[in-house]
Amino acid sequence: MPQSDLLAQAAHIPSIDRLLQLPAIQALTQQHGHTLVTQHLRHFQAQLRQRALAQKLRHADLALSQLAEQFARQLQHDLQPKLRPMINLTGTVLHTNLGRALLPDAAIDAVVTALTTPSNLEFDVETGKRGDRDDLVEALLCELTGAEAATVVNNNAAAVLLMLSTFAQEKEVVVSRGELVEIGGAFRIPDIMKRAGARLVEVGTTNRTHAFDYADAITENTAMLMKVHCSNYAVMGFTKEVSLNELVQIGRQKGIPTTVDLGSGTLVDLAKWGLPSEPTVKQTVQAGADLVTFSGDKLLGGPQAGIIVGSKDSIRALKKNPLKRALRVGKLTLAALEPVLALYRSPEFLAEKLTTLALFTRPQAEMKRQAQVLQPLLQNALGAEYDVAVEPMFSQIGSGAMPVDVLPSYGLVVQFVGSGRAGSAIIKIENWLRMQPRPVIGRIHRDTLYLDLRCLRDVDIPLLQAQWSQALA
């Protein structure tokens, strides 16, 4: 393209004032305001200049109607909320990247109320004086866990940090080498200890730790014995670990507290619903643990939170730590947590009312029915080069909980049967699904796309039908 044509094109880019006069953009101004639209128009105009300088702008591209349409699409994209609803077909129920536990209706209603009305977050209605926000959930937590007292911070890592900072600063904490876990985002137990000012004392080996390993490691500077529940991995074969009961006895003989990072943490025995059994918080408290920490948004099925239960003296000490205020939760977390905890008072209705447990226990037949409805739609959208089949598969609980246990599921399996590279073709489909108005997230394994329907709600099926009604471009 000649330089003279390039300059002519740049010179013919409409001014901001000219663009603002276009009826389509005036409509956008009435909807979003003059300030916002003008700011985005300046950015849009700068992009046009860059295209002109790169010799990628044609005279036809400067048609006013085309510019208005292009700007409207770009503005809609730019103003789209960054936190967007997704359709989780990965087969992982508690997917960390997709927000973990989905809240039950009771929690959603409570959050809406807390958002729209004043509340007694730190106000004691009976005395008319300032209250403690932990009071909103402490009684429930004690009732459900058998602990004397409880407090809540923003996640389980924060709970462990607060516990170590309060009781083990510049002191030693004894932990089995087989329990030095790393959670998502490369956060590791040793790193959290270091930040808390505690000194880690590793005992045993990766696969075997004995009671005498703990006993021999105790010194005058030992602050606590700590047990970490390995919920995100499993060591198989020639293994040995010290039970919590044994560890508590060692601690009591030496006058040293025993603490437990329970990780995912469940309040009920999941075996009642045919799920793998996990140690409950109540069992851990009854075994004699002085402090127990666990998450709110994993097996518990509530909002993101770190919950600490234990003796009154221990919890009182945690609350006096200045770090507690930095790690405390807000009213929305507490508003959601209270009704979730309340559901556990009636365990016979839990699988019906607690969304997380309902997803864990979905019948395979329901998922198969959904797959049979969606299969012809997706097959038609993808065309003859792809094969879409209804097949059984396995889901997982997720978020580091029960890593070796799976849940029988059903879903759609997409394979490339055309000519060319299967891997590239499947990636193309995964990208197409992910870029739809309501992104659909599946999983790829060995050049095959799996769409596990365990987390698919019936209400979302018409949405998928609408999105899949148009063939793949």
Asked if the model's pLDDT at residue 87 lies above 90, the reply is: yes
- For residue 352, what are its two tokens? 């019906």
DSSP 259: E
Summarised one tens digit per residue, pLDDT across range 342-377 is: 999 999 999 999 999 999 999 999 999 999 999 999
C-alpha Rg value of the chain to the nearest Å: 28
Tell me what pLDDT residue 177 has: 85
Q: How confident is the model at residue 238 (pLDDT cuts 50, 70, 90)?
A: low
Least confident of 262-266, 268-272, 302-306: 262-266
Tell me what pLDDT residue 205 has: 81
Give the residue from 100, 74, 98, 73 showing the smallest Cα distance to 84.
98
Asked if the model's pLDDT at residue 318 lies above 70, the reply is: yes
Summarised one tens digit per residue, pLDDT across range 25-54 is: 999 999 999 999 999 999 999 999 998 888
CA distance 26 to 24: 5
Q: Choose between 59 and 267: higher pLDDT.
A: 267
Asked if the model's pLDDT at residue 251 lies above 70, the reply is: yes
Summarised one tens digit per residue, pLDDT across range 421-434 is: 999 999 999 999 99
Asked if the model's pLDDT at residue 8 lies above 50, the reply is: no
Pairing, β 149-153 against β 306-310: antiparallel
Q: Determine how many CB atoms are found less than 10 A away from the CB of residue 399.
A: 24
Q: Choose between 56 and 372: higher pLDDT.
A: 372
Tell me what pLDDT residue 199 has: 92
Give the residue from 21, 295, 52 showing the smallest Cα distance to 160.
295
Which residue blocks in 122-179 are alpha helix, DSSP H?
135-145, 156-167
Asked if the model's pLDDT at residue 458 lies above 60, the reply is: yes
CA distance 50 to 56: 9
Which residue blocks in 354-408 are alpha helix, DSSP H?
355-360, 364-382
Summarised one tens digit per residue, pLDDT across range 134-168 is: 999 999 999 999 999 999 999 999 999 999 999 99
Q: Choose between 228 and 42: higher pLDDT.
A: 42
Tell me what pLDDT residue 265 has: 87
- Largest Cα–Cα distance in the chain? 90
Neighbouring residues of 33: CB distance < 8 A, sequence distance ≥ 6:
none
Tell me what pLDDT residue 53 has: 85
Tell me what pLDDT residue 151 has: 98
Residue whose structure tokens are 């930040």: 195
18-39 burial string, b = 16+ CB within 10 Å, else e?
Answer: ebbebeebeebbeeeeeeebee
Tell me the average pLDDT across 5-13.
63
Asked if the model's pLDDT at residue 452 lies above 60, the reply is: yes
Tell me the average pLDDT across 238-257.
88
Give the residue from 289, 256, 134, 261 showing the smallest Cα distance to 192.
261
CA distance 428 to 433: 9
Summarised one tens digit per residue, pLDDT across range 392-411 is: 999 999 866 555 578 999 99
Give the residue from 372, 417, 355, 356 showing the smallest Cα distance to 94.
356
CA distances from 266 to 124, 144, 295, 373 (A): 30, 11, 9, 35
Summarised one tens digit per residue, pLDDT across range 111-141 is: 999 999 999 999 999 999 999 999 999 999 9
Contact 366, 62 (CB under 8 A): no
Tell me what pLDDT residue 241 has: 78
Summarised one tens digit per residue, pLDDT across range 323-348 is: 999 999 999 999 999 999 999 999 99
Output the pTM of the full model: 0.89
Average pLDDT, the chain: 91
Q: How confident is the model at residue 242 (pLDDT cuts 50, 70, 90)?
A: confident
Q: Exposed (0-12), middle (13-18) or buried (19+): which is 345, by Cβ within 10 Å?
A: exposed
